[in-house]
Structure 1
Amino acid sequence: MSKYGRKIANLTSVLGCIVGWVCIVLSNTVNIMIAARFLQGISIGMITTLGPVLIGEYTSPRNRGAFLMTISISISIGVFVIHTMGIYINWQICSYVCIGIAIADIIIVILSPESPSWLAEQRRYEECKYVFRYLRGDKEEEELEKMIAATIVTEVYEDITTHDNIGEKVNNSVRYVKETVKNRTFYLPVFIMFHVFAMAQWSGINILTSYLVDLTENLVGSESDIALTIISTDVLRILSNIVGLVLVKKMRRRLLIFVTVGINLATLIFISGYSFAKQTILLQNDYPYIGMLLIYLQMFSIAIGALPMAYVLAGEVFPLKYKGLCGGITTFCMSMNLFISMKTIILLFNTIGFSGTYLLYSGLVLYCLIIVGIFLPETKDRTLLDIEEEFRGKKLTVDCSMKNI
């Protein structure tokens, strides 16, 4: 997306997704199914990096948080639709539906403009001005002028792209990497987003999406209506995302993270304690409504805070020059946290039990929350360039006329 543009990268990711679904529909062996999932994994990795960046560059500072929150809403709706269809419809029909959605995505991407930030970085200033005004009108000319002024290509980058000698290209690339990793606007956002994504992945969302049956049987009982629990939890996730969309317009990012992740942290500890009490003589009777309440509260706290806020911040904190690189690194870190979390859930359940697993998760979430609280600057209603300047060490002044929290 840095070299060829956000639009080409977006099209590539959707095409990879379509090929993956077609392979699933036509698969008659396990190997083809694995190859299909591999292609879809690549596509998901690409769009996870690209989506927040593109929305962040499209939208104005005051509306950016709400638009970025729609990523989580879209994911929640997708999870709800797939879970519901998976209960009642053949898996191949589900695949055809997903292919249709992806084709609609391609049409939307083709009709969408290129990112004005990328156009400015490529020194295509007239196109940049046209697209910027097309997306936002003519009331944010100051941000447009600052963005164009900030897109001067460094001498190091010019050296890398202009030298014909392979040895010189390699040497300059190494020098460029060394200078990049020492840059505060590069390593600080990466460090912060590593912990933000880790906080989201260890919040318990993977248990709720992939092991909800096990969780329900442990907290509620084996006689509960599993299908109803899955659908109702997915509906709650969508509604919580919508509430989060409203709150992200009203509350500062840091406050919203502390409140929602704090609720999530308390829920993890309560579930750990309740599960432990059920397995011992401390709680001799079953209270299924308490178990369901804890499941719903956990989903509410995640869907309103840790998970959507990860996408919101991913669209705000990366500097223009390193968006692709920062996004790729943090998406890799998120994927590794997802991979480790998913592959260890059953192992943890079998070794330290539900109570121990949730207690471990609460410790990881608490650590990430402390790190985010220390290093994350406030980003609400700030331009992307202002946020980048703060990462350089320049303190931003708070607009006293703002009436939001």
Structure 2
Amino acid sequence: MGKSWITPFKKQCFVTLGVSLNLSSHGLTMGFAAIVLPQLRQPDSVIPVDDTAGSWISAIIGFALIVGNFIIPTVMAKYGRKTANVLSIITMLLGWFCIILATNIKVLLIGRFLKGCAMGMTASLGPVLIGEYTSPKNRGAFLTTISLSIATGVVFVHTLGAFFHWQIAALVCAFLMFIDLLIVLYSPETPTWLSDQGRYAESEKVFRWLRGDTEDEELKRMLETSMIVREAKAEVIVEDTFSKRMKANLAFFNATIRKREFYKPIFIMIHIYTLSQWSGANILAAYTIDLFTNVIGTEVHIYLMVITLGTQRIISNGIAVYIIKKVKRRTMLMATVGINLFAYLAIAAYSYLKAHQMLPYDHPFIGIFLIHIHMVSIATGTVPLPFIIAGEVFPLDYRSLAGSISVFFLSGNFFIILKTVPYLFKTIGVHGAYVIYAAVVAYCVVIAYFFLPETKDRTLQEIEDEFRGRPLSPEEVKSTQSLTSVKHNQDRRCSSPVI
């Protein structure tokens, strides 16, 4: 009776908190560049930097994302989602400690690289964890907490940078990650992964702990599918040699890439992730001061503007949590991207006319207003929706592999954006850069319009069946899984194939 207030919803909130705090490190890491670079450019800085070094401090995390992205699928599939989450947090902590102790540019870059690796891990891991922990009716809102956490991380570190030295700010960020580590250690493994490993009793126990007794149909279908898959693996005995494993993996990969439920979600997510990176979120996080200076000028209190923009992002993200529960994914994506394109082109036109003194009337409020409109589109749509969609469209059997391939493009775009922003701002100006960004976003949203299905309030199995065109029969499941079944001996447990 005393524990009746701990409802399944609150338990889902607890495990989501562990994931979201980890993902807030994305915002802390990206926003940290905006506070560390101005301080390092000061004459009395212990680590002096020029424009080239500064761009590497911002952009190296994009390159490191790729490394983390390649590491995490194997850990997710073989050792579990929880273990992968712990590994990413420890890596992030090591990165923050390097920053805290840095006395030269090399150690600073190592710290940024480690943090980028951790971000690469959580980029594909976070949506999978929340998607497997939460119920379909609440999944969209919980997945929105990813972008809310990132936004909170950005404004939090920007606020720290306005009052403290960058190493003190890094120490506070490391403490937050330690708190998150404790939460994750007390969170369970996901029921989906447990059932995939044949641990059905544990899977059912965790599922009912998280969901209660109201979603028996989803539990039944998940366990039945897992049993079929494991029976198929047990029927095929393959000699445990390197050449045999390679042949099995190649056969698996060859069969997998031909499946609609594999390549269609990847194709969609490549464009959705590209859209999210080129929509301007990272520019507003890492180059906030540069953008305000170029668009508005220096006659306003820049740090106050930075904090205000970050606060607005949190508020907009909070509103998005509610809206996403009510509005269809496709409708919200098209609406927010439309606002994003308007903001891009309006800021481009304003900055061009301002630079050429062609404005009939000018006031700093105009530029501030346009940047805030841009942030509204980012916070309510182009940042939260990609994470939500990523948590829903990938099929269970290929979630690690498909997520990894998709995040590879996220990482590449992330690096390109942050590395080229200073160069583009100096050569073609904000107006030229923003027109290029708008063109990329417009192309991606057209692809999403034609290929992205509606996923709101649908189970993960229903979404997978739509990509396939029909439910997968038991015979097809067996023939698919047998391609990669490797049995070392009769008593050893089988594990999911990892490429």
Which residue, 387, 409, 432 being the options, matches 1:311?
A: 387
Q: Is the CA contact (8 Å cut-off) linking 1:160 and 1:172 kept in structure 2?
A: no
Partner Cα separation in structure 1 for residue 253 and residue 145 of structure 2: 34
Does the alignment pair 1:91 with 2:159?
no
Q: Which residue of 1 aligns with 2:359?
A: 283
Aligned 1:43-192 pairs, distance under 5 A? 43-151=118-226, 152-153=228-229, 162-192=238-268
- 1:322 alignment partner AA: Y
Q: Output the amino acid matched with 2:85.
A: N
1:24 to 99, 102, 105: 99
Match of 2:417 among 341, 344, 356: 341
Pick closer, same or farther for the CA change 1:122–1:162 going to 2, 3 Å.
Answer: farther
**Matching residue of 1:362:** 438
Alpha-carbon shift at residue 330 of structure 1 (Å)? 1.5
Shift of 1:212: 2.0
Contact 1:157 1:176 in 2 (8 A): no
- After superposition, the Cα gap between the structure-2 partners of 1:45 and 1:161, relative to the gap in structure 1 and judged at 3 Å, is farther
Cα deviation per residue 1:131-152 (whole Å; 9 max; x = unaligned)?
1110000100001111112223
| Cα contact 2:82–2:184 (8 A) shared by 1 | yes
Q: Is the 8 A contact 1:20 1:39 kept in 2?
A: yes
Deviations 1:200-223, CA, capped at 9 Å, x for gaps: 111112221122222222322221
| Counterpart Cα distance in 2 of 1:302 and 1:136 | 31
Residues 258-277 of structure 1 mapped to structure 2, 5 A cutoff: 258-277=334-353
Preserved contact between residue 18 and residue 102 of structure 1 (Cα < 8 Å): yes
Amino acid at match of 1:232: T
Q: Could you give the per-residue CA deviations for residues 299-337 of structure 1, whole angstroms, max 9, x where no partner exists?
A: 011100011111111111111111111121122211111
Structure 1 residue 157: Cα displacement? 6.6
Paired position in structure 1 for 2:372: 296
CA distance in structure 1 between the aligned counterparts of 2:116 and 2:394, rounded to whole angstroms: 23
Q: CA deviation at 1:47?
A: 1.1
Q: Structure 1 residues 215, 95: CA separation in 2 closer, same or farther (over 3 Å shift)?
A: closer
Kindly state the Cα deviation for residue 281 of structure 1 after the two structures are TM-superposed.
4.9
- Post-superposition Cα deviations, 1:97-143, rounded to whole Å, max 9, x if no partner, equal 12211111111111111111111111111111111110000100001
Q: Distance in 2 between matches of 1:157 and 1:332?
A: 30
Task: Decide whether the 8 Å contact of 2:238 with 2:244 is kept in 1.
Answer: no
How far apart in 1 are the matches of 2:368 and 2:207?
47
* Counterpart in the other structure of 1:401: none
Is residue 2:112 matched to residue 1:37?
yes
Number of residue pairs matched by the alignment? 395
Output the CA distance in 2 between the equivalents of 1:63 and 1:54: 14
CA RMSD of aligned residues (A): 1.8
Could you tell me the TM-score, scaled by structure 1's length?
Answer: 0.94
Indicate conservation of the 8 Å contact 1:159/1:169, yes or no.
Answer: no
User: Which residue identity is paired with 1:141?
Assistant: D
Provide the C-alpha distance between the structure 2 equivalents of 1:240 and 1:269, rounded to a whole number of angstroms: 21
1:321 aligns with 2:397: yes
Pairwise CA distance, 1:284: 4.7
Cα distance change of structure 1 residues 5 and 207 upon mapping to structure 2, 3 Å threshold: same
Partners of 2:170 and 2:98 lie apart in 1 by: 10
More off after superposition, 153-162 vs 222-231: 153-162
The aligned counterpart of 1:402 is none
Check conservation: 2:198, 2:230, Cα contact below 8 A: no
- Report how far residue 280 of structure 1 moved: 2.8
The structure-2 alpha-carbon separation of the partners of 1:156 and 1:43, relative to structure 1 and needing over 3 Å to count, comes to farther
Distance 1:161 1:286, change over 3 A: farther
- Contact in 1 for aligned 2:295/2:430 (Cα 8 Å): no
Going from structure 1 to structure 2, the CA distance change for 1:159 and 1:227 (only over 3 Å counts) comes to farther
Q: Bigger CA drift: 291-300 or 268-277? A: 268-277
Deviations 1:360-397 (A, max 9, x none): 111111100010111111100000111111110139xx
SS in 2 for 1:153: helix
- Give, in whole Å, the separation in 2 of the partners of 1:161 and 1:33: 50
**Matching residue of 1:197:** 273
2:83 paired with 1:8: yes
Q: Give how far 1:93 is off.
A: 1.7
- The answer to whether the 8 A contact 2:194-2:200 is kept is yes
Structure 1 stretch 280-289 or stretch 348-357: which is displaced more?
Answer: 280-289
Aligned residues of 1:13 and 1:43 also touching (Cα < 8 A): yes
Return 5+ residue gaps in structure 1 as ranges: 396-405
Residues in 2 aligned to 1:296 and 1:208: alpha-carbon distance in whole angstroms:
10
CA distance in 2 between counterparts of 1:154 and 1:374 reads 36
Q: Which of 334, 357, 374 matches 2:450?
A: 374
Q: Please report how far the alpha carbon of residue 92 of structure 1 lies from its aligned counterpart in structure 2 after TM superposition.
A: 2.0
8 Å Cα contact 1:181/1:187 also seen in 2: yes
Residue 154 of structure 1 and its aligned partner are, at CA, apart by: 7.3
CA distance in 2, matches of 1:161, 1:212: 58
Alignment check: 8 A CA contact 2:88 2:118 kept:
yes
Q: For residues 178-213 of structure 1, what are the alpha-carbon distances to aligned partners after superposition, in whole Å with 9 as ceiling and x for unaligned?
A: 111111111111111111111111111222112222
Q: Please tell me whether the aligned partners of residues 56 and 68 of structure 1 are also in contact (alpha carbons under 8 angstroms).
A: yes
Which residue of structure 1 aligns with residue 35 of structure 2?
A: none
Partners of 2:193 and 2:387 in 1: CA distance: 20
Counterpart contact for 2:191–2:204, Cα < 8 Å = yes
CA contact (8 A) 1:196 1:372 kept: yes
C-alpha distance in 1 between matches for 2:423 and 2:91: 32
Structure 2: segments with no counterpart, 5+ residues: 1-75, 472-499
Q: Which residue of 2 aligns with 1:391?
A: 467
